[in-house]
A and B are shown apart, each in its own frame.
Chain A
Amino acid sequence: NAGVTQTPKFRVLKTGQSMTLLCAQDMNHEYMYWYRQDPGMGLRLIHYSVGEGTTAKGEVPDGYNVSRLKKQNFLLGLESAAPSQTSVYFCASSPSGTVIGETQYFGPGTRLLVL
C-alpha cells in the first residue's frame, strides 16, 4: 500500500514550457486535491475533485488545469509555465470529503522551478 505518490519529485522548466504532474493513490479515495506551498503562505488549494470525471476550482486555479479520468489518478497541468508557479506542489486524497474529522493523506510533493 503506497498511499499517495507523486511524479516527478523535482523539475526545472523554462518560462512558457508545459508539463503535467501526476498524483496517484491506491486507497480508493473519492476526493483528491492539489495544493501549492510557498514560503510564508502555508498551503493553498489549486483544484480538487470529488470523484472520477469531476474537477473544480480552488483558491488559486489560474494557470493550471486538471483531469481525473481514473479514480486513482489526478493530473495537474501547466500549459505555459511562469516563474510565479515556482513552488512545491502537494497532492492529497480523502475517502469522501464529507465525514466530520476525516483525514487527508498527502503525497511527498513535487518541487517545481520555473526559470
Chain B
Amino acid sequence: GNSVTQMEGPVTLSEEAFLTINCTYTATGYPSLFWYVQYPGEGLQLLLKATKADDKGSNKGFEATYRKETTSFHLEKGSVQVSDSAVYFCALRLNYGGSQGNLIFGKGTKLSVKP
C-alpha cells in the first residue's frame, strides 16, 4: 500500500547545528511530496513541496529533494534556530484519477533546538 516512513524522534539539536530528517515513501505512480510543520498548540502548515523527480522544495532555509530512485524526500537545514522547534511531518499525495486527494502522513518527528 501507499505509506510514508520518517525517522523517529525526538531529535534534539543545539542552535546552528545541521538538521536532517529522513523520509522515504511507497506509492502507486508518481506522488507529490510535502513537508508540513506543526508548532506547539497549532495546526499544520505547509513547509515545502515537490511534485516530480529531482524537484527541490525550499522555504525558510529548509530544503528537500524528490529522489525517485531512492523514493526519498529528506528534509535538511543548514543552521537550525530555537524557533524551528516543532513537529515535522512528511506526507505524500497520489496523483492519479480517482484518488481521494488526501495526504498520507508519516508519524512525525519532533525537533527540539536548544540555545
Q: Mark B92-113, 1 if CB is under 8 A from A, else 0.
A: 0101010011110111100000
Known A48-B102, A58-B100; further 18 A-B contacts with Cβ < 8 A: A41-B107, A42-B4, A42-B107, A42-B108, A43-B89, A43-B103, A44-B105, A96-B101, A97-B100, A98-B97, A100-B51, A101-B32, A101-B49, A101-B50, A102-B32, A104-B46, A106-B36, A109-B42
Is A19 part of the binding interface, using a Cβ–Cβ cutoff of 8 Å?
A: no
**Closest CB-CB distance, A32 to chain B, in whole Å?**
10
Instruction: Give chain A's interface residue range (CB within 8 Å of chain B).
Output: 20 to 34
Pair A103/B46 contact, Cβ less than 8 Å: yes
Which 4 residue pairs of A and B lie closest in terms of their CB atoms, listed nearest first? A97-B101, A101-B51, A42-B105, A106-B43
Point out the residues of chain A lying under 8 angstroms from B53, CB to CB: none
- In the complex, chain A residues whose CB is within 8 Å of the CB of B97: 98
User: Chain B: how many interface residues by the 8 Å CB criterion?
Assistant: 24
A4 partner residues in chain B, CB cutoff 8 A: 43
User: Could you jot down 29 A-B contacts, CB within 8 Å?
Assistant: A4-B43, A33-B102, A42-B4, A42-B89, A42-B105, A42-B107, A45-B100, A45-B102, A48-B102, A56-B100, A92-B44, A94-B101, A97-B100, A97-B101, A97-B102, A98-B97, A98-B101, A100-B51, A100-B95, A101-B32, A101-B49, A101-B50, A102-B32, A104-B102, A106-B36, A106-B43, A106-B45, A108-B43, A109-B43
Residues of B that sit less than 8 Å from A by CB? 4, 32, 34, 36, 42-46, 49-51, 89, 93, 95, 97, 100-103, 105-108
